[in-house]
């Protein structure tokens, strides 16, 4: 997942020519081509297609948290940035005479740079800082930046000024940037009357506040699951049991953070414990977020109506690769149809395995799915998921992520000692290429009180060539981080680490363009996950894993045969997993594609589980309350599967026997990652593939169980 706070527009109005492929599974994709696009840059460190502006000041390269500001200082830094942005916009509007790139587009982008820094850094700090006063200050700064951004996106004088700029002799990136910027102004409602624009502004500000409340309720829900006695932990890994010793009075208490919860679902022999954890985990932020989500749905619907759309789903998909809510729905329907046979086969296997231990069983319940899937992997594939955990201690996995990507992409990573960070557990690294600083990133990787409790990459500073280097942060909740704890990771954790690091590399490599507004990861949202999903493939390769997956006690590399066993076993449940993703995708779409008065989130969840999954709906759960994507991704959770189709196609271009070789990886970096938002995503992919993307590789992946 990628968390990005800065969006110039709230997506709306006409799609300005965006079209989508025929059929829902994307056989190909088309995007607007207002100008001939430039060739891909050679390296991340030198990727600007033209030199930095002559007036550019010294490059900003100090870590963003320098000075360790308290809440007042942090608030003042953000106010100063917004004040600078206002001055730049006022100067832009006041220009007399001929509009040029230098006197109009450049100050506009400089203002975007200030807004980007405020939004990105405030969003991060509001989710991770241990000081509640600082988190509150960051939330307020995010609201102020969003209000400024919305007001700017509705400013007709700024739009008219930008529209008057002649870019006929400009380079391709500049032409594309201005074209997209003008389109986005129109999508935001800049052409509406004064009263409508004022209402859009008010609603947009409310949506930000409501979304923050939704996320805050998830983050602050710290309910616990008591354990009756140590016998209830039977089946769980030894290191897990060691981390959960009885406290005062002999009581053992588990949290609902996923390092505690997920192993219970997979390994705990106690059905009672699995059930209690399931009910608590799938009820996070309930009941608070029921009303909060309803408000968010209503507010977004009202905004869509003001912008000329029937519903928010059509509004938010207007600038995506998919193009419309109907196309997204058709895509989901085709994924559901394609995965049905495999999901049914896998469920029959699951039920048959349960019946071996529970004669007469007629159903596998939600809190049992992971447990019996693990038993299937043991009995049918001779694989125990716990057998690989000793090869995945956190520190070695971290070294592996850094080492593998360093070899692939030709960069070096260096730990920065005593760097300014928001918590002592956070590590800071710098990426260099041929001795030049490419970017900086932060790893905040273990659970902490009041910290964001999922996994995501957060933008920190969008790189602009000649002005500032890119910075990003990984925020995860992996095992480890305490003295004496090796932090043995599940294989799924390893994939997550690679996935999130894929976002981070995208941010760093794409942060070397002359314009902030198209630097970093500013492609269409339904492409954003593809590079990260593709990087997960490296975790399945025995050669790659042998470079870092070493037993935490003996130091021996993970045996290739064990990796092969893991891969065969891992693929079991693929169809069920796709169906589960479609529950999320259709829920995301369904709550936003109709009149809010017709939305009953409990009823929609229950109906989708019944239609898409063989596991019965579990009454008393309200997982939508903790489904953070309903705020951040709103109606477009389908993007994960859409991106996966693209990721599978791109990965098919690599030589699976030499995944660490830089050849194809270098071309991929240059043609897909480094361009950032300087071209439509479909064109980036087509440039790399030599053709439009299709679903052949994805379909082969889905049907791979029939080859075994």
Distance, in Å, from the CA atom of 44 to the CA atom of 22, rounded to the nearest integer, reads 35
Can you read off the two tokens belonging to residue 399?
């070294």
Residues 144 and 173 reside in one and the same domain? yes
Distance, in Å, from the CA atom of 635 to the CA atom of 315, rounded to the nearest integer, reads 10
Show which of 265, 281, 297 is a domain's final residue: 281
Share of the chain above pLDDT 90, in %: 88
Show which of 233, 248, 281 is a domain's final residue: 281
Residues 12 and 121 reside in one and the same domain? yes
Q: Is residue 58 part of a domain?
A: no
Whether residue 6 is predicted with pLDDT greater than 90 in this model: the reply is: no
Whether residue 25 is predicted with pLDDT greater than 80 in this model: the reply is: no
> Model confidence over 533-580: pLDDT tens digits?
999 999 999 999 999 999 999 999 999 999 999 999 999 999 999 999
Residues 198 and 238 reside in one and the same domain? no
Residues 132 and 246 reside in one and the same domain? no
16 CB contacts (<8 Å, ≥6 apart)?
32, 183, 186, 187, 319
> Model confidence over 72-131: pLDDT tens digits?
999 999 999 999 999 999 999 999 999 999 999 999 999 999 999 999 999 999 999 999
Residues 212 and 251 reside in one and the same domain? no
Residues 14 and 153 reside in one and the same domain? yes
> Model confidence over 264-319: pLDDT tens digits?
999 999 999 999 999 999 999 999 999 999 999 999 999 999 999 999 999 999 99
Q: Is residue 675 part of a domain?
A: yes
Global model pTM greater than 0.85: yes
Distance, in Å, from the CA atom of 397 to the CA atom of 490, rounded to the nearest integer, reads 11
Q: What's the first-to-final CA gap in the chain, in angstroms? A: 32
- The C-alpha angle 661, 663, 668, rounded to 5 degrees, equals 110
Q: Is residue 322 part of a domain?
A: no
| Residue 133: per-residue pLDDT | 97
145 CB contacts (<8 Å, ≥6 apart)?
5, 6, 78, 82, 115, 118, 119, 122
Helix H or strand E segment including 667: helix 662-668
Buried b (16+ CB within 10 A) or exposed e, 608-643: bbeebbbbeebeebbbbbbbbbbbbbbbbbbbbbbb
Mean pLDDT of 241-246: 92
Show which of 219, 244, 271 is a domain's final residue: 219
Distance, in Å, from the CA atom of 465 to the CA atom of 56, rounded to the nearest integer, reads 10
- 3-state SS of 81-106 is HHHHHHHHHHHHHHCCCCCCHHHHHH
Residues 146 and 253 reside in one and the same domain? no
Residues 124 and 261 reside in one and the same domain? no
Distance, in Å, from the CA atom of 176 to the CA atom of 17, rounded to the nearest integer, reads 14
Nearest to 479 by CA among 470, 469, 490, 471: 490
| Angle between the N-to-C axes of helices 325-357 and 369-381, in degrees from 0 to 180, rounded to the nearest 10 | 70
Q: What is the mean pLDDT of the chain?
A: 91
Q: Cα-atom radius of gyration of the chain, to the nearest Å?
A: 25
SS3 439: strand
Instruction: Identify the DSSP state of 12.
Output: -
**At 2, is the pLDDT very low, low, confident or very high (cuts 50, 70, 90)?**
low
Residues 271 and 400 reside in one and the same domain? no
- The C-alpha angle 112, 45, 4, rounded to 5 degrees, equals 35
Q: How many CA atoms lie within 13 A of 193 on its CB side?
A: 1
| Residue 707: per-residue pLDDT | 54
Mean pLDDT of 451-472: 95
Mean pLDDT of 683-701: 97
Distance, in Å, from the CA atom of 239 to the CA atom of 219, rounded to the nearest integer, reads 26
Whether residue 147 is predicted with pLDDT greater than 90 in this model: the reply is: yes
Q: Is residue 583 part of a domain?
A: no
Cα 193 to chain center, whole Å? 35
Nearest to 634 by CA among 599, 603, 582, 591: 591
Q: Which of 1-15, 213-227, 234-248, 333-347 has the lowest mean pLDDT?
A: 1-15
Distance, in Å, from the CA atom of 255 to the CA atom of 248, rounded to the nearest integer, reads 16
> Model confidence over 29-71: pLDDT tens digits?
333 223 322 333 333 333 333 333 444 456 888 999 999 999 9
Q: Is residue 421 part of a domain?
A: yes
CA distances from 686 to 531, 650, 696, 705 (A): 14, 10, 15, 29
> Model confidence over 623-651: pLDDT tens digits?
999 999 999 999 999 999 999 999 999 99
Whether residue 334 is predicted with pLDDT greater than 60 in this model: the reply is: yes
Structural domains of the chain, count: 3
| Residue 96: per-residue pLDDT | 96
Residues 122 and 169 reside in one and the same domain? yes
Residues 214 and 228 reside in one and the same domain? no
Whether residue 13 is predicted with pLDDT greater than 90 in this model: the reply is: no
Q: Which of 3-12, 292-301, 363-372, 449-458 has the lowest mean pLDDT?
A: 3-12
131: left (phi over 0), alpha (psi -120 to 50) or beta: beta
DSSP letter for each residue of 193-225: -HHHHHHHHHHHHHHHHHHHHHHHHHHH---EE
Q: Is residue 360 part of a domain?
A: no
- CATH assignment of the domain containing 448: 1.10.1370.40
Share of the chain above pLDDT 70, in %: 92
Whether residue 694 is predicted with pLDDT greater than 70 in this model: the reply is: yes
Q: Is residue 565 part of a domain?
A: no
Nearest to 322 by CA among 679, 641, 554: 641
**At 450, is the pLDDT very low, low, confident or very high (cuts 50, 70, 90)?**
very high
CA distances from 247 to 224, 241, 261, 449 (A): 14, 13, 19, 18
- The C-alpha angle 103, 108, 109, rounded to 5 degrees, equals 110
Mean pLDDT of 447-454: 91
Whether residue 513 is predicted with pLDDT greater than 60 in this model: the reply is: yes
Examine residue 303 and say whether the peptide bond preceding it is cis (omega within 30 degrees of 0).
no
Cα 574 to chain center, whole Å? 21
> Model confidence over 646-666: pLDDT tens digits?
999 999 999 999 999 889 999
Residues 133 and 232 reside in one and the same domain? no
| Residue 385: per-residue pLDDT | 96
Q: Is residue 664 part of a domain?
A: yes
- CATH assignment of the domain containing 112: 1.20.1050.40
SS3 18: coil
| Residue 37: per-residue pLDDT | 28
Whether residue 4 is predicted with pLDDT greater than 80 in this model: the reply is: no
| Residue 259: per-residue pLDDT | 87
Residue 550 β-bridge partners: 557
Whether residue 181 is predicted with pLDDT greater than 80 in this model: the reply is: yes
Q: Which range marks the domain in which residue 409 is found? A: 390-559+655-682
Can you read off the two tokens belonging to residue 283?
């009820």
């Amino acid at each position: 997942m990628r968390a990005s706070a800065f969006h110039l527009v709230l997506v709306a109005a006409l799609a300005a020519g965006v079209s989508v492929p025929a059929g829902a599974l994307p056989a190909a994709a088309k995007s607007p081509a207002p100008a001939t696009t430039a060739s891909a840059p050679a390296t991340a460190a030198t990727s600007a297609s033209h030199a930095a502006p002559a007036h550019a000041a010294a490059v900003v390269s100090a870590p963003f948290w320098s000075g360790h500001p308290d809440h007042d200082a942090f608030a003042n830094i953000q106010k100063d940035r917004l004040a600078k942005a206002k001055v730049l916009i006022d100067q832009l509007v006041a220009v007399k005479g001929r509009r040029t790139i230098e006197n109009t587009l450049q100050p506009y982008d400089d203002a975007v740079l200030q807004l980007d820094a405020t939004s990105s850094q405030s969003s991060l700090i509001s989710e991770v800082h241990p000081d509640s006063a600082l988190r509150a200050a960051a939330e307020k700064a995010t609201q102020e930046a969003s209000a400024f951004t919305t007001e700017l996106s509705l400013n007709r004088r700024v739009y008219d000024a930008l529209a008057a700029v002649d870019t006929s002799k400009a380079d391709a990136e500049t032409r594309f940037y201005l074209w997209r910027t003008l389109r986005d102004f129109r999508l935001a409602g800049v052409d509406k009357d004064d009263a409508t624009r004022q209402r859009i502004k008010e609603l947009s500000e409310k949506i930000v506040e409501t979304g923050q409340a939704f996320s805050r309720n998830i983050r602050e829900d710290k309910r616990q699951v008591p354990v009756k006695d140590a016998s209830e932990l039977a089946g769980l890994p030894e290191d897990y049991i060691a981390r959960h010793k009885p406290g005062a009075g002999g009581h053992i208490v588990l949290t609902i953070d996923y390092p505690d919860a997920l192993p219970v679902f997979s390994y705990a022999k106690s059905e009672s414990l699995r059930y209690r954890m399931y009910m608590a985990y799938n009820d996070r932020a309930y009941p608070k977020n029921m009303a909060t989500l309803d408000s968010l749905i209503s507010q977004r619907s009202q905004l869509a109506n003001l912008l000329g759309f029937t519903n928010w789903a059509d509004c938010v998909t207007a600038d995506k690769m998919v193009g419309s809510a109907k196309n997204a729905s058709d895509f989901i329907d085709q994924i559901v149809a394609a995965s049905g046979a495999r999901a049914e086969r896998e469920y029959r296997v699951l039920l048959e395995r349960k019946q071996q231990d529970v004669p007469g069983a007629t159903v596998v319940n939600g809190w049992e799915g992971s447990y019996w899937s693990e038993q299937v992997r043991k009995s049918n594939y001779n694989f125990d998921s716990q057998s690989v955990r000793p090869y995945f201690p956190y520190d070695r996995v971290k070294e592996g992520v850094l080492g593998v990507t360093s070899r692939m992409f030709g960069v070096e990573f260096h730990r920065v000692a005593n760097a300014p960070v928001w918590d002592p557990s956070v590590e800071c690294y710098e990426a260099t290429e041929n001795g030049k600083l490419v970017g900086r990133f932060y790893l905040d990787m273990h659970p902490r009180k009041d910290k964001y409790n999922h996994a995501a990459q957060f933008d920190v500073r969008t790189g602009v060539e000649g002005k500032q280097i890119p910075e990003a942060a990984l925020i995860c909740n992996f095992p480890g981080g305490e003295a004496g704890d090796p932090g043995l990771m599940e294989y799924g954790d390893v994939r997550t680490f690679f996935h999130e690091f894929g976002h981070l590399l995208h941010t760093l490599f794409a942060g070397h363009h002359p314009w902030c507004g198209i630097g970093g990861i500013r492609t269409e949202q339904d492409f954003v996950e593809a590079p990260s999903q593709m990087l997960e493939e490296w975790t399945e390769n025995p050669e790659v894993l042998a470079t870092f997956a070493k037993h935490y006690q003996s130091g021996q590399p993970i045996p290739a045969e064990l990796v092969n066993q893991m891969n065969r076993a891992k693929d079991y449940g693929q169809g069920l997993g796709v169906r589960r993703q479609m529950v999320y995708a259709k829920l995301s779409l369904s709550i936003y594609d109709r009149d809010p008065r017709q939305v009953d989130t409990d009823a929609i969840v229950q109906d989708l589980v019944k239609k898409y999954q063989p596991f019965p709906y579990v009454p008393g759960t309200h997982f939508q309350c903790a489904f953070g994507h309903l705020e951040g991704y709103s109606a477009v959770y389908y993007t994960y599967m859409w991106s996966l189709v693209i990721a599978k196609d791109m990965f098919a271009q690599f030589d699976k026997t030499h995944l660490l070789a830089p050849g194809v990886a270098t071309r991929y970096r240059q043609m897909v990652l480094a361009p950032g938002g300087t071209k439509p995503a479909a064109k980036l992919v087509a440039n790399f593939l030599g053709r439009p993307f299709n679903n052949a590789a994805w379909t082969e992946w889905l049907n791979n169980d029939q080859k075994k």
